[in-house]
Chain A
Amino acid sequence: MSEEKGYLALVLHAHLPFVRHPEYEEFLEEDWFYEALTETYIPFIEVFDRLIEDGVDFRLTMSITPTLLSMMSDPLLQYRYLRHLNKLIDLAGKEIERTRWTPDFHELALMYFWKLTRARQIFSERYYNNIIQAFKRYQDMGKIEIITCAATHGYLPLMPNRKAARAQIEIACAHYEKHFGRRPRGIWLPECGYAPGVDEMLKQAGIKFFIIDTHGILFGTPRPRYGVFAPVYTPSAVAAFGRDMESSKQVWSAKQGYPGDYDYREFYRDVGFDLDYDYVRPYLHSDGNRVNLGIKYYRITGETEHKEPYKPSIAREKAAAHAGNFMHNREKQIEYLHDYLKIKPIIVSPYDAELFGHWWYEGPEWVEFLIRKIHFDQKTIKMITPWEYLERHPKLQVISPSMSSWGYKGYSEVWLNGDNDWIYTHLHMMADRMVILADRFPDADGITRRALNQAARELLLAQGSDWAFIMKTGTMVEYAHKRTKDHVARFDRLYHDIMNAHVNDQWLKEVEHRDNIFPDVDYRIYRG
């Protein structure tokens, strides 16, 4: 058997901000999580199960952020997801009847009913409401490598307080260990955001590698001998894997990018808006506003408002063709690089996990086709995880990568602009005050200790990069403002209450109940 000429490292970044509102009976933004479960995470479980069953070997790297892990393991959200799912299954059942005279839609109603009931079966019967177990199993089998992320997806380049940045990383590693039984080897830096000095913190946390955007390597010092096609060591000996642009463009290109194909399902046409209000009303939130319900009947069709019914079998063919195209291009790319660079290049292709399934409905199938084709149809490419690569090729160039992110324009503008720059005065002051508190009360106990731990949680939750992102993009802005302000205000009160030795137990209990992420957090991590 001839040897491979290079590697492909597919990296899926699975993240959602921590959204959990026990103080409300139901909460719109919790739908982010429910939709992602139904459309992305559970479909991937099905993909991996099928591959394993068919004896198809594969390697995939997946970051599952601590906030997402926390939600996946939270009993309230698990319960609410089932409630959500049951409602949808009920609706899908009605849709089967309602569409009886419109065969195109009838077929789709049946598909949704089937998929939703299957999701419920996987979620509740196979994994007892905790699908983390599924991913842990794939990791234990050596198929996927799960890496961590900063605790609440805090964007590190805009975090001048090093202790606060370090806490984001260390809390994440401890949280990972709790769920997966060992320390993480790798990390997905939130938004791929790297700044000099971050590598040092990663080293302290025992992390061996991270992913960085293309120009982080290309503009590194000295010049990278192999561009992004071999990882480098940073000065603190943590390996950095650069993102490949070509494979990214292939998926995202405006012209020939895959997700926009006319045969794929249209994301924005949803029965929540298309059907009679009285009919869908029972499936909406109590405020009665129309929202997406996840049952979508149309394909993208073209650049028109007129949409044709979605045809799953045709879309599936397209996904297979696109997977073949992607593989073919990676083969060509790897052959070229292999000949030119005289090494086995590694192509690192990171994507948002929610791209697959949620935005690009056929995405999980595309991944499955790609993996199968790589396994059966060629010999040039070998799928690999960054860790396996390092074990095979431990000798790397040392480079100081350049500050970079994978956000629009490549630096920090997405998270720092006129729409969101007001948050930093608060975030930075909170971080500084957290350190002051930790130094002032090096060994608190009782209610003071609880208040200090809660202050740490409020700081962490405020730091999530999602709020700044949402403020910039304009979708659900009110909520991002609310969350930032809530955590800023709660922290402020905690700070003063602790300093004045005047913590209100009942209020603290209420806040602990609401923002219950990281139950084991120890504020002393912020000590000097």
Chain B
Amino acid sequence: MTPRDLKKRKAASVAAKPKTTPKKKAISTDEKRVEAAKEAARRFIAGIRATPRKTKKAPVKKAERPAAAKPAAKAAPSAPPPKAVKAKAPVKPAKAAAKKPAPRKSAEPEKAAHEPIRQAAEESKFYLGAEQRVMPPVEAIDIPKGYNTDRIVAMVRDPHWLFTYWEVTDRKYRELERTFGHVWAACKMILRVYDRSSGKQGHFDIALTREARNWYIGVSAQGRYQVAIGALSPDGRFELVAISNVVETPADRPSDRIDEKWMVPDDVFDRIFAASGGYDMHSASGELKGLLEKRLLEEMSSGSVTSFGSGALYKEAKGRSFRLWVATELILYGGTEPDARVTVQGKEVKLRPDGTFSLRFALPDGKIELPVTAVSGDGVEARTIETKVTKKSLKKEPVLK
């Protein structure tokens, strides 16, 4: 099975459904193991993130079943919802971050169920059917590893998550070491997340590994936050390295504030909210998920037969992804005097300067008669050769050993 074939399979499914379906089958246990190892390595390198990460893309490496790896990647859930992080909690360092007030009536716009389909369509803009390729670089690409400044930047991902990245220079580490002296070895680098919402104060800390460069932080909707990075000694002394911009998380539900001039009673607003699509998402998503799983199952378990125009056949054995397709074309070629007139099936054919010609036809099942006639340039002589072709494709029962 070629990668393309699989892409097509995936493609066929994308055409009709969102790609968030967990296409588990495509990942073999081995690959899972490789994935797990990779995940571990990455965590080691990048520091553990308190983050909802996208399920790592199936390896792009070509070695093992590259074909199978691809659709798995495509089908992987695009990102687990923030809640999924909680399940991961054990692998994380102390996580004050996760504590947040229980949401009231949550109207978080998990976008409506149809959104993934829209995304798939959007993606099609960039889909050329081509495999990934490595471009010969025209110039050396060398991007800075750091910018030699102590800084931290905070960004809002959604009502419940911030993203922050930072850089702490070696110079700064040496300075911290001097400042703390012998306790330095026992110090931790931490993120200190300040709640700057009006009427609130306070902060929580997140302990970092030295290698961590960024972090996703769980917060509350409609809050104001600022994130500091610094070193914390066992006895609670905090030495600031850098402090971020102040960011505000958006609302995850309608406002409680009502405009006097544009008064709208609760029940009326509720209807408007519903008509605007405010409640859509939850009701639709479960239903859709069921539908997709069903489709996926059908697709994977049923063998199918296809015809590629001129009659291609393949058969899939249950649960296996081995297949075969065959198509036939007929090439007719010949030659005469350069000034002769040639017709094939009564249609005139263009000759090359040396009097030769060739034609190519998709050949369907059935009988074809192919009279080729050449009339000499002076119109005096005509010759005809007729070829008869019968084509029949036979599909035999698959043999499964």
Contact = CB atoms under 8 A, between A and B. Distances in A.
Contacts of B127: 292, 475-476
Contact of B121 (A16, A359, A486): A359
Interface string B280-321: 100010001001100100110010111111100000000000
Contacts of A403: 156, 248-250
B233 to A, nearest CB: 28
A196 B125 contact: no
| Residue of B122, B213, B245 ringed by the most chain A CB atoms within 10 A | B122
B299 A303 contact: yes
Interface string B60-90: 1000000000000110001100000000000
B74 to A, nearest CB: 6
A477 B133 CA distance: 9
B153 interface: yes
Interface stretch (A204-212, A270-278, A519-527): A270-278
A223 B117 contact: no
Interface stretch (B98-106, B198-206, B251-259): B251-259
A23 B137 CA distance: 10
Nearest to B17: A254
Interface size class of B (residues with CB under 8 A): 35 or more
Nearest to A35: B128
B158 A474 contact: no
B114 A409 contact: no
A329 interface: no
A31 B128 CA distance: 8
Interface residues of A, number: 124
B15 interface: yes
A100 to B, nearest CB: 6
A473 B74 CA distance: 8
Contacts of B306: 304-307
B163 A492 contact: no
A162 to B, nearest CB: 11
A421 B214 contact: yes
Given A97-B361, A98-B362, A355-B121, A474 B57 contact: yes
Interface residues of B: mostly helix, strand, loop or mixed? loop
B252 A341 contact: no
Interface stretch (B29-37, B141-149, B169-177, B179-187): B141-149
A114 interface: no
Nearest to A266: B15
B115 interface: yes
Contact of A253 (B14, B114, B249): B114
B321 to A, nearest CB: 11
Interface in A292-348: 292, 297, 300, 303-307, 309, 336-337, 340-341
| Residue of B123, B269, B271 ringed by the most chain A CB atoms within 10 A | B123
Contact of B307 (A219, A222, A306, A341): A306
Interface in A25-50: 28-29, 31-32, 35-36
A304 B177 CA distance: 65
Contacts of A402: 250-251
Interface stretch (A59-67, A167-175, A244-252): A244-252
Nearest to A105: B309
Contacts of A220: 255
A504 interface: no
B262 A32 contact: no
B400 interface: no
A337 B259 contact: no
Interface string B365-379: 000100000000000
B284 to A, nearest CB: 8
Interface stretch (A371-379, A411-419, A444-452): A411-419
Contacts of A217: 276
Nearest to B306: A306
B26 to A, nearest CB: 14
Interface stretch (B5-13, B335-343, B380-388): B5-13
B195 interface: no
A316 B284 CA distance: 29
A219 B251 contact: yes
Contacts of B153: 160, 424-425, 428
| Residue of B119, B138, B277, B363 ringed by the most chain A CB atoms within 10 A | B277
A98 B360 contact: yes
B143 A426 contact: yes
A477 B361 CA distance: 38
B16 A223 contact: no
A252 B277 CA distance: 14
A254 B278 CA distance: 19
Contact of B126 (A306, A336, A470, A482): A470
A267 B11 contact: yes
B280 A268 contact: no
B156 A482 contact: no
A429 interface: yes
B218 interface: no
B245 A160 contact: yes
Interface of B: 4, 7-9, 11-18, 49, 51, 53-54, 56-57, 60, 73-74, 78-79, 109-119, 121-135, 138, 141-144, 147, 153, 155-159, 163, 165, 167, 213-214, 245, 248-255, 257-259, 261-264, 269, 271-273, 275-278, 280, 284, 288, 291-292, 295, 298-299, 302, 304-310, 327, 329, 345, 359-364, 368
Given A242-B276, A469-B122, 12 more contacts: A98-B360, A99-B361, A102-B310, A244-B276, A245-B277, A254-B292, A268-B15, A411-B159, A412-B157, A414-B78, A419-B54, A482-B141
15 contacts: A101-B362, A160-B153, A160-B155, A220-B255, A244-B276, A253-B117, A254-B17, A254-B117, A300-B16, A303-B298, A402-B251, A403-B156, A425-B213, A473-B126, A476-B130
